[in-house]
Amino acid sequence: MTKKFLTEHNIDFSEKNINDTPEYIDYLKGKGFRSVPVLENNAQPIVNGFRPDLLKKLIAQ
């Protein structure tokens, strides 16, 4: 749902799929995350999970 939202609102993103890149799981765990998706901007987490309320703030940026 997060990926669909970003695509529908023409927000550029790059995807790191934990199924394709399992070493990324350790990266996320090291930052304290236990669920996906995690959206980051300049390595700073901004959204964890599908959060339409927070995603809408990206539209204005």
pLDDT at position 44 is 76
pTM of the full structure? 0.76
38 in Cβ contact with 28 (< 8 Å)? yes
pLDDT at position 21 is 92
Q: Cα Rg for the chain, rounded, in angstroms?
A: 12
Concatenating the DSSP letter of every residue in 1-57 gives -HHHHHHHTT-------TTT-THHHHHHHHTT--SS-EEEETTEEEEES--HHHHHH
The number of CA neighbours under 13 Å toward the Cβ of 54 is 11
Instruction: Place 2 in a pLDDT band, splitting at 50, 70 and 90.
Output: very high
Q: What is the pLDDT of residues 5-60, one digit of tens each?
A: 999 999 888 999 999 999 999 999 999 999 999 998 877 778 899 999 988 888 87
Instruction: Place 61 in a pLDDT band, splitting at 50, 70 and 90.
Output: low
Where do the structural domains in the chain lie, given as residue ranges?
Answer: 2-59
